[in-house]
């Protein structure tokens, strides 16, 4: 038994050439553009679940220096680089 959820409209702005091509593709495949978009979005969501973490979640906090130390870090870097 397939559970059918509520649907909602979603307006997208894409290049005219891309819209034309996707409409032709959808017609050939006998599927709606909405269904193509929904399946693509679901694949993105499921891909994230399979990998565990999104790109942002994976790399958030990777910088080891606190924000307040950026000025002194830059000064140290330039001092070391140019020997001043």
**Domain range summary for the chain, segments of one domain joined by +:** 13-52
- Binned at pLDDT 50, 70 and 90, residue 34 comes out as very high
Across the range 69-82, mean pLDDT stands at 80
Distance of CA 38 to the CA centre of its chain: 15
Helix (H) / strand (E) containing 8: none
Q: Does pLDDT of 65 surpass 60?
A: no
Distance of CA 20 to the CA centre of its chain: 23
Written as one string, the DSSP assignment of 13-70 is ---HHHHHHHHHHHHHHT--HHHHHHHHHHHHHHHHHHHSS-HHHHHTT---S-GGGH
> For position 45, what pLDDT does the model report?
79
- Binned at pLDDT 50, 70 and 90, residue 19 comes out as very high
Q: Does pLDDT of 1 surpass 80?
A: no
Instruction: Give the span between the Cα atoms of 46 and 20, in whole angstroms.
Output: 28
Radius of gyration of the chain (CA): 24
Q: Is the entire prediction scored with pTM above 0.85?
A: no
């Amino acid at each position: 038994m397939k559970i059918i959820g509520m649907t909602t409209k979603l307006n997208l702005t894409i290049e005219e050439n891309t819209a034309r091509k996707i409409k032709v593709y959808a017609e050939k495949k006998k599927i709606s553009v909405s269904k193509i978009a929904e399946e693509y979005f679901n694949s993105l969501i499921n891909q994230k679940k399979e990998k565990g973490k999104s790109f942002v979640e994976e790399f958030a906090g990777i910088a080891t220096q606190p924000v307040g130390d950026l000025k002194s870090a830059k000064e140290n870097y330039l001092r070391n680089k140019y020997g001043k």
